[in-house]
Amino acid sequence: MSTINNNNQNNNLKLVTDDSYTALLRGNSQWVDLKLQEDSEYFHNLAKGQSPKVLWIGCADSRVPANEVTGTKPGEVFVHRNIANVVVHTDMNMLSVLDYAVNVLKVKHVIVAGHYGCGGVAAAMGNKQFGVIDNWLRHIKDVYRLHSKELDAIEDIQARTNRLVELNVSEQVYNVCKTTIIQNAWMERHDLEVHGWVIDLNTGLVKDMKISNSSPHNLGYVYELDSVAVAAH
Ligand code: ZN
């Protein structure tokens, strides 16, 4: 065991770090300096705790960072990101983030944020294999199948991909709403809304898909759940 550790230490010592790595540490140092110039108590206050009003479920794409896109500061947005902003009901990571955000942090808004030019959505429209990710992207192929009549009628491939980005956001908003976490929260409070956004990388602007939801009543009969107390009788 100690031999393995020693080898790791030796390997670390031999690391050749290019500028893209060292730039991060320089950037951090500059950021800390800037923040302290603005407010000498900044980190002291940041360390006290968080009370964000928003949960962001976005794409892992490096071009769509939640705080930058919305002009918010650290502490204001709780964030979950994965490839192509997919909400899968068996994803313990997503469920844990959603449960903590809704039931402990008591966020008032859950935003599913997709973006045009999404590589995950584009890959899901094709047949090429990329690896394990293909199993994840299959959820988006399901979205395509649900809306294949509309999508197949769009001849321009770019326009069709853009529409699938929008429809994927729409379906993932529904998936958030279908969770027991959101439905149980709606039984107790009326200040929790779920929204769908698409970010346009060419302009930076957000398109609100206007599919905001704060009630289980339009999920469809089979998805709407009784309260646990009612179901027990
Ligand atoms: Zn993406």
Least confident of 68-72, 101-105, 136-140, 186-190: 186-190
Looking at the fold, whether 42 and 145 belong to one and the same domain comes out as no
Over range 147-167, report the average pLDDT: 98
Over range 143-170, report the average pLDDT: 98
Does 3 score more than 50 pLDDT? Answer: no
Total structural domains within the chain: 2
Q: Is 39 a catalytic residue?
A: no
Query: Which listed residue (80, 109, 115, 139) is catalytic?
Result: 115
Q: Which pLDDT score is estimated for 232?
A: 53
pTM, full prediction: 0.91
Chain length of the chain? 233
Looking at the fold, whether 134 and 150 belong to one and the same domain comes out as yes
* Span 87-124, pLDDT tens digits: 999 999 999 999 999 999 999 999 999 999 999 999 99
Domain region containing 86: 51-231
**Angle value at C-alpha 165, between 161 and 169, nearest 5 degrees:** 165
Query: Which listed residue (59, 139, 177, 195) is catalytic?
Result: 59
Q: Is residue 80 part of a domain?
A: yes
Looking at the fold, whether 168 and 123 belong to one and the same domain comes out as yes
Q: Is 115 a catalytic residue?
A: yes
Q: Which pLDDT score is estimated for 17?
A: 73
Looking at the fold, whether 140 and 28 belong to one and the same domain comes out as no
CATH number for position 173: 3.40.1050.10
Looking at the fold, whether 31 and 91 belong to one and the same domain comes out as no
Q: How confident is the model at residue 13 (pLDDT cuts 50, 70, 90)?
A: low
Q: What are the residues whose beta carbon lies below 5 Å from ligand 1 (ion)?
A: 59, 61, 118, 120
- Would you give the end-to-end CA distance of the chain in angstroms? 57
Q: Which pLDDT score is estimated for 231?
A: 53
The DSSP code sequence of 133-148 is: HHHHHHHHHHHHHHTH
Looking at the fold, whether 88 and 26 belong to one and the same domain comes out as no
Looking at the fold, whether 12 and 100 belong to one and the same domain comes out as no
Cα 80 to chain centroid, rounded: 4
- Pick the closest to residue 171 from 108, 114, 96 (CA basis): 114
Looking at the fold, whether 76 and 184 belong to one and the same domain comes out as yes
Q: Which pLDDT score is estimated for 4?
A: 47
Q: Is residue 1 part of a domain?
A: no
* Span 179-211, pLDDT tens digits: 999 999 999 999 999 999 999 999 999 999 999
Q: Is 160 a catalytic residue?
A: no
Query: Which listed residue (26, 63, 89, 190) is catalytic?
Result: 63
Q: Is residue 28 part of a domain?
A: yes
Does 212 score more than 60 pLDDT? Answer: yes
Q: Is residue 220 part of a domain?
A: yes
- What does the mean pLDDT of the chain come to? 93
Q: Is residue 223 part of a domain?
A: yes
Looking at the fold, whether 90 and 27 belong to one and the same domain comes out as no
Cα(227) to ligand 1 centroid in Å equals 35
Over range 118-136, report the average pLDDT: 97
Does 129 score more than 80 pLDDT? Answer: yes
Percent of the chain with pLDDT over 90: 84
Least confident of 92-96, 130-134, 165-169, 213-217: 213-217
Looking at the fold, whether 122 and 201 belong to one and the same domain comes out as yes
Looking at the fold, whether 73 and 39 belong to one and the same domain comes out as no
Q: List C-alpha distances in Å: 103 to 97, 108, 200.
A: 10, 11, 31
Q: Which pLDDT score is estimated for 194?
A: 98
Q: How confident is the model at residue 11 (pLDDT cuts 50, 70, 90)?
A: low
Looking at the fold, whether 73 and 95 belong to one and the same domain comes out as yes
